[in-house]
Structure 1
Amino acid sequence: MELDDWESDNSDSVVDVNEEDEGEECYLASFSKPKVQFRKHLSKARWINEMGMSEILEIKGQLWRTIGVVRDSKIYCSIEETLYLAEEGALHLLTDDDDGDKVVQLRDLHNKLASGKHGCCFESYEVYKHLRSLGYIVGRHGVLWSTKSQLLGSSSMKIDELFEKLQINNDGIRPVFDVYSPNSKFRKTSPGNPCFILCLTSDKPPSRREIGDIEKQCDGIPVKFCHVEHGRISFFSYEKVDIPSLP
């Protein structure tokens, strides 16, 4: 059985878990300081500098059903997934250097995120974290969950192609995340289509042409937009409306 289909009967034992609003409709949120939760059973990973990702070494708990991509029977996590798990107190992250037992601290992960070298910025991370807190399943746009999955394309993406795909262009409006509704039966090998594709906007609203171009890229999957300003997250979408003629 490959890691895609991995399941565990052992649930995490969590100390001091803060419950979040699980409503599916939420269009405004504010930034908050991360509150680290502590779990008795931690997964273990190693940060790989040249990849800008973490490779999972030991798996604990249920979170891996909806986090991380599988390549060559290994699970890899993007910078936003790695930081999210670290803030959740679910991941013990080791450095990729001669001192292999040294733990990567949260402040070091925040610095890696701030560098902008790993295809994610603070705004994207806050959006990712907020959607996860609502129960949504979130993945990088267009990145296959596994080499068996058929999401947004039929060709298998090998590990080198994966890392290239993860380098998101941070200029202008762009699709950032594929977002799935909460689903306890979600499988990386057969995720199906996302319920919507999320785009992160720049300082100004998208033009009609930009919206049309993005919708053409998304093959009929609904597109929503997100804008982050002064620590506030706004989600919105556009629909064509026919205005009746006046008499």
Structure 2
Amino acid sequence: MEDSDDDEVYLETASDEEELGFSSASMPKLQFRNVKSKCRWDEEMGMAEVIEKSGKMWVTTGIVRGGKTYSSIEETLYLMELGALDLFDNSDRSISLIEMYEKVAGGKSGCCWELFEVYRHLKSLGYIIRRHDVAWSLKSVRSSHNPIALEATEESSQLEEMGSKVELCINKLFGELKISDVKPDFDIYLPNSRFRKSSPGDPNFLLYLSRSNPPSRAEIEALERQCDGIPLKICLVTEGRVSFFSFDKVELPVLP
């Protein structure tokens, strides 16, 4: 099924009053809104299905599959903190912030409290963030390939197969992800008013939350092998403070 182009539609129709932007990296203040987005939490997927959309945030938030939009646990909780989203379960019972905090603190749905703090920090500064290697839509997978080549049946079949693999990746990522896996956590894009989920381009850098302080050489080398030339940044969270750093290779002079 073809993905809907929700990211572009909502950029055109949303009012300026709904734009979410913050100058401080601290916890965003709850904002009371007359109109909120509505989502339904899927415990098995570890994601929320968006039932009703309101505001511009969906231009850079959520993934689109089969015409539906889903938000990860960190995206969902962040929007709940802003007062921009109401969350319900399958019985239409309202899910509270406390319940979602407990899920994140318990390492549910491929997230942990430190990862959420990193997400919140960067999102409040205007960065565009997605889970590493998770396409926003299958259109974004298609747009990364030569459109002329797609005219060939063989190439089209290969792309369809790739789309199926992306779907499988989504289910595995949000349902079974182990936080201890040594792989980048987020793909990070700089603030960009022209951003489109359907053609996001390469991220500006990849981000990995170090589970040790400092990260081991083996960790760094394993991560760099997965970056394909995209810059890698390491982050640490210490008592709520988020720090970022990167490593450069330096050749020391040979002493006589």
Is residue 44 of structure 2 the alignment partner of residue 85 of structure 1? no
Rounded to whole Å, the distance in 2 between the matches of 1:174 and 1:220 is 15
Pick closer, same or farther for the CA change 1:173–1:229 going to 2, 3 Å. farther
Rounded to whole Å, the distance in 1 between the matches of 2:23 and 2:65 is 32
User: 3-state SS of the aligned residue for 2:220?
Assistant: helix
Pick closer, same or farther for the CA change 1:61–1:217 going to 2, 3 Å. same
Which one has a larger percent helix, Structure 1 or Structure 2?
2
User: Aligned partner of 1:20: which letter?
Assistant: S
Aligned-residue offset at 1:42: 0.7
Q: Judge conservation of contact 2:205–2:232 (CA < 8 Å) in 1.
A: yes
Rounded to whole Å, the distance in 2 between the matches of 1:50 and 1:61 is 27
Rounded to whole Å, the distance in 1 between the matches of 2:116 and 2:35 is 25
Aligned to 2:63: 69
Is residue 37 of structure 2 the alignment partner of residue 43 of structure 1? yes
Rounded to whole Å, the distance in 1 between the matches of 2:54 and 2:248 is 43
Aligned-residue offset at 1:200: 0.8
Rounded to whole Å, the distance in 2 between the matches of 1:122 and 1:19 is 21
Pick closer, same or farther for the CA change 1:53–1:197 going to 2, 3 Å. same
Percent identity for Structure 1 against Structure 2: 48
- Larger deviation: 123-132 or 200-209? 200-209
User: 3-state SS of the aligned residue for 1:57?
Assistant: strand
| 14, 20, 23: which one aligns with 2:23 | 20
| 123, 140, 145: which one aligns with 1:132 | 123
User: 3-state SS of the aligned residue for 2:184?
Assistant: strand
Rounded to whole Å, the distance in 1 between the matches of 2:66 and 2:181 is 34
- Larger deviation: 48-57 or 121-130? 48-57
Q: Judge conservation of contact 1:55–1:74 (CA < 8 Å) in 2.
A: yes
User: Aligned partner of 1:221: which letter?
Assistant: I
Q: Give the 5 Å matches for 1:1-247.
A: 2-7=5-10, 8-11=12-15, 13=17, 19-21=22-24, 35-97=29-91, 100=92, 102-150=93-141, 155-156=162-163, 157=165, 159-166=167-174, 167-171=176-180, 173-246=182-255
- Larger deviation: 65-74 or 85-94? 85-94
Moved over 3 A (4+): 151-154, 157-161, 244-247
User: 3-state SS of the aligned residue for 1:192?
Assistant: coil
Q: Where do 5+ consecutive residues of structure 1 fail to align?
A: 22-28
User: 3-state SS of the aligned residue for 2:109?
Assistant: coil
Rounded to whole Å, the distance in 1 between the matches of 2:73 and 2:90 is 14
Which one has a larger percent strand, Structure 1 or Structure 2?
1
User: Aligned partner of 1:54: which letter?
Assistant: A
Pick closer, same or farther for the CA change 1:56–1:233 going to 2, 3 Å. same
| TM-score, normalization by structure 1 | 0.85
CA RMSD of aligned residues (A): 2.5
Cα deviations by residue, 1:41-78 (Å, 9 ceiling, x for unpaired): 21111111211110001111100000000000100001
Rounded to whole Å, the distance in 2 between the matches of 1:137 and 1:19 is 13
| TM-score, normalization by structure 2 | 0.82
Rounded to whole Å, the distance in 2 between the matches of 1:159 and 1:43 is 25
User: Aligned partner of 1:127: which letter?
Assistant: V
Q: Judge conservation of contact 1:12–1:41 (CA < 8 Å) in 2.
A: no
User: Aligned partner of 1:140: which letter?
Assistant: R
